[in-house]
A = this chain, B = another copy of it.
């Protein structure tokens, strides 16, 4: 979410596409309004489009209701009258719009204002970490506080969005205990493994996670285009044997490390699509998932948006040219090894819910051994980022009532 970077990319776009002449012309299409000592510019068309009067904006639906078939994108202001807290614009067709100055300021086009809006309202800025910093960055939260208090709920979700991981303690020893936590956010993401899932050693399993052997570091369900956003693993019974520890690695750290130290391998992993795959039957329902995507997915600003990694769930079809195969395997092995090197290792206790960003972190588990009176058992559930960011914003409105968000 680096706005300056985004701006550079937009500037590059403007330059490449030779729309400088358009943008020069567009300086005649703006109004300047002084707000709190700042000289802020707003395009006419944006102001007209965002008129907040009852004819243009539906109050209960909080939605624009302008009829776009008849919308004039060349509307011009006939008069602009600034009051103490608001500005009134009369348009050339006689329509009148009123805007509060605070409302305008929050939506202004300066880099500083855009930056503030992005970090405070859109999505909090992320902080990447090396495994040796894990104890410092992994926030400890309390089950009952999250269930009861909006502040605790906010702090937990904020931690997960910034660091990609957080631990909830003191969870009741019940199979449905994570339901209360998920309900505080919104609802689960269902997959072909169900609304929730049980992680324990199972014979003839449809998924290698349901074994007691080493579970290599991976993201869950990379074969889903809509890959589960956040993974919550409630430890009901931990093994008393050796092993069973979790491994966690922040791939935003690994990606940045590769970008700096292995730029060619980084380019390969961000550009070459491979095929993620899961074929089987669960609860009588057949599934055959395939999804093509690079290991490291970038947005148009070259920021990491998603990580895909799973040894068992990478398909046996390679969707690409023969001569990228060997370079891809080399880059992928490097990525895998670096994540093992950078990983944090720790063992959850009964009552812990380990919560982590499934499209950012790799997670794994060391092998263990079930005993007759000690069968390791976790209950898992997923929640998507759409619902988590939504809940964070709703809580911000509540907890920071004077921030002028709405």
Measuring CB to CB, which residues of chain A are less than 8 angstroms from any residue of chain B? 6-7, 10-11, 13-14, 17, 19, 22-23, 25-27, 29-30, 41, 43, 45-46, 49-50, 58, 60-69, 71, 73, 106-107, 109, 114, 117-118, 121-122, 186-187, 190, 192, 204-208, 213-214, 216, 224-226, 264, 267-268, 271-273, 275, 278-280, 285-292, 300, 311-314, 316-327, 329-330, 333, 336-337, 340, 384-387, 389-390, 393-394, 397, 406
Asked whether, in the complex, the Cβ of B67 is within 8 Å of the Cβ of A214, the reply is yes
Measured CA separation A162–B286 after assembly (Å): 22
Known interface pairs A208-B65, A406-B279; A394-B45 also in contact (CB < 8 Å): no
A190-B190, A327-B26 known; A208-B393 Cβ under 8 A: no
Kindly provide the distance from the CB of A380 to the nearest chain B CB, expressed in whole angstroms.
17
- The residues of B that contact A6 with a CB separation of less than 8 Å are 319-320
Given A67-B216, A280-B62, A327-B26, A322-B43 contact (CB < 8 Å): yes
- The reply to whether B206 and A61 contact each other, CB–CB distance below 8 Å, is yes
Known: A69-B216, A107-B317. 15 other contacts (CB 8 A): A10-B324, A14-B324, A43-B329, A46-B329, A61-B207, A62-B206, A62-B280, A63-B312, A64-B312, A64-B316, A109-B325, A117-B319, A192-B390, A271-B300, A289-B389
Residues of B within 8 A of A14 (CB): 321, 323-324
Contacts A/B (CB < 8 Å), 8 sampled: A43-B325, A58-B208, A60-B280, A61-B206, A62-B206, A64-B314, A68-B216, A226-B226
Across-interface contacts of A27 in B (CB, < 8 A): 323
Q: Is the CB of B68 within 8 A of A336?
A: yes
Of the listed residues A43, A73, A313, A322, the one surrounded by the most CB atoms of chain B closer than 10 A to its CB is A322
A319 contact from B122, B206, B322, Cβ within 8 A:
B122
On chain B, the residues within 8 Å of A340 by CB distance are 69
Chain B residues contacting A66 (CB-CB under 8 Å) are: 311
CB atoms of B186 and A323 under 8 A apart: no
Q: Which chain B residue shows the least CB distance to A114?
A: B319
For A333, what are the chain B residues with a Cβ–Cβ distance below 8 Å? Answer: 68, 71, 73
Q: Which residue of B lies closest to A29 (CB)?
A: B326
Q: List B contacts of A49 (CB < 8 A).
A: 329
The distance in angstroms between the C-alpha atoms of A23 and B290, with both chains bound, is 27
Q: Which residue of B lies closest to A298 (CB)?
A: B300
Complex: A123 Cα to B386 Cα, angstroms: 26
Contacts of A225 in B (CB 8 A): 384-386
Whole-angstrom distance between the alpha carbons of A118 and B236 in the complex? 43
Closest residue on chain B to residue A384 by CB atoms = B226
Q: Which residues of B contact A394 (CB under 8 A)?
A: 286-288
Q: State whether A7 and B325 are in contact (beta carbons under 8 Å apart), knowing that A65-B208, A279-B406, A386-B224 are contacts in the complex.
A: no
Closest to A301 in B: B273
Given known A122-B292, A326-B43, contact A19–B264 (CB-CB < 8 A): yes
